[in-house]
Amino acid sequence: MRLPILIFVLSILTFNVYADSPITSTFFYTAYYEIPEIRKAETDKILNYESASFLCSTTISSDKKVALINALGWDVNGKKNKELFENFLKKKYNISQIDYSKITADEHLCIGYLAIMDNYLEADIPVKILNAALKRNPQSYTYNIIYGLALCQLCLHYGSSSSLKPNELFDKKLVDESLSGWANVYLIGAKIESNKILKQDFRVSAKREIFAYLNDYKSECPAEVLILIPSTEHLTQLIDTKIKIIKKNGVFKIPVTVNNGLEIDFIFDSGASDVSISSDVFSTLKKQGKIDKSDILGYEYYTIADGTTIKQLSIMLRKVQIGKIVVTNIKASVGSFNTPLLLGQSFLEKFKEFTIDNENGYLIIDPKNIK
């Protein structure tokens, strides 16, 4: 009786060498944390009307939609977000049951991803749904990587045995049945990442979060197989620039140096169209000789949060620095005395991507991605 118990305990210990699973350990939504709806989904955990509408929007890209689903998270006891989304779609399309031919490809993708996030231990049905969704948008990296994660989850269940048992759900382009399930967790992701014909519609920093987990399984792959598969190490070795941010009264504040003069705290506000400074800051910069007549662009009309349109002076900031990142020629508006200082889109649009590490309090920008 003791031997089977010992084997069972050893199998548990071996399984726990790896962090949970491809579905529960890849928190790539943090790469999209500047999006308010995604931050809210992290708190809500349950799909609601606003988040369902976000998933159905035709103006929001598919990578942001799956990031919101990733932010909703998983629960070991299961969730019902797929059911809630399907009910939303039934009302939207006035149908009694889901007809994939009547919904968009993105909605199809979201159903599949919600299904596996609801119950990551039951991967079969989500894999089928995501495979069908992928056929509607086969060139999308987003569709491929989400399908790939579901396949990885399915393979993980087979463990580290020498070879997989044949399964009709295994995609022969991605899964090598001669190898173990654990080896395939790495190979599936590596094959997707090395597919050069895919449309790169998924943030590099989001990939980094996924492959930081998948690469743990690389050691399960035979050396002769790895020779044929391009390495994905570049995704985890990219050097980020981290800027410390402080969360106070519900907003993020970042120390910013303007025109080699003042260093002051700005509010990180991705919803503001321009960088905004107050009239007193503007006056101080002028006194320091950090702003001259050539930097003044004239007056423009701006719509503020309450919908009111106001006329404000528009200027060009020659140099804006956060941490080690320096960006030149940033348009800014000048508000009244003591107006909140906002780091808005005229600065943020200079970067192809950035991430907020909410837990540790950092804005992370890959210096290679400055436009």
Q: What are phi and psi of 98, to 5 degrees?
A: -70, 125
For residue 121, what are its two tokens? 């231990």
Residue 85 has pLDDT above 90, yes or no: yes
d(CA 316, CA 186): 48
Mean pLDDT of the chain: 86
| Dist. CA 134–CA 125, nearest whole Å | 14
Amino acid at 285: L
Tokens 């107050």 belong to which residue? 278
Contact between residue 150 and residue 132 where contact means Cβ atoms under 8 Å apart: no
| Closest CA relative to residue 293, chosen from 260, 269, 276, 315 | 315
Give dist(CA 311, CA 83) in Å, integer: 48
Higher pLDDT, 240 or 140: 140
Q: What is the mean pLDDT of residues 29-49?
A: 90
3-state SS of 284-297 is HHHHCCCCCHHHEE
Residue 367 has pLDDT above 70, yes or no: no
Provide the token pair at 368.
């290679």
Mean pLDDT of 323-340: 85
The model's confidence at residue 236, banded by pLDDT at 50, 70 and 90, is low
Element (H, E) at 364: strand 362-365
Minimal CA–CA distance to 18: which of 186, 191, 250?
186
Residue 34 — very low, low, confident or very high, per pLDDT cuts 50/70/90?
A: confident
pLDDT at 135 over 90: yes
Mean pLDDT, residues 84-91: 98
CA separation for the pair 151, 108 (Å, rounded): 17
pLDDT of the residue at 118: 97
Sign of CA dihedral 92, 93, 96, 97: negative
pLDDT at 127: 98
pLDDT class of 70 with cuts at 50, 70, 90? very high
Would the pTM of this model clear 0.85, i.e. be above it? Answer: no
What pairs with residue 265 in β-bridges?
A: 255
Instruction: Determine phi and psi for 43, rounding to 5 degrees.
Output: -85, -40
User: What is the spatial distance between Cα 79 and Cα 184, in angstroms, rounded to a whole number?
Assistant: 27
- What values do phi and psi take at 270, rounded to 5? -70, -10
Mean pLDDT for 45-60 is 97
The pLDDT confidence band at residue 14, using thresholds 50, 70 and 90, is: very low
**Which span out of 2-6, 27-31, 174-178, 356-360 was modeled with the highest average pLDDT?**
174-178
For the chain, the maximum distance between any two Cα atoms, rounded to a whole number of angstroms, is: 88
Mean pLDDT across the stretch 280-289? 89
7 vs 358: which has the higher pLDDT: 358
What mean pLDDT do residues 163-185 have?
A: 93
Is the pLDDT score of 238 beyond 70?
no
The predicted structure's pLDDT at residue 273: 82
Domains along the sequence of the chain with CATH: 2-237 (no CATH), 241-369 (2.40.70.10)
Which stretch of 19-23, 81-85, 313-317 has the lowest confidence by average pLDDT? Answer: 19-23
Q: How confident is the model at residue 184 (pLDDT cuts 50, 70, 90)?
A: very high
How confident is the model at residue 366, as a pLDDT? 66
Higher pLDDT, 93 or 355: 93
pLDDT for residue 10: 37
pLDDT band at 232 (very low <50, low <70, confident <90, very high): confident
92-130 per-position pLDDT tens digit: 999 999 999 999 999 999 999 999 999 999 999 999 999
Q: Residues for the chain: how many in total?
A: 371
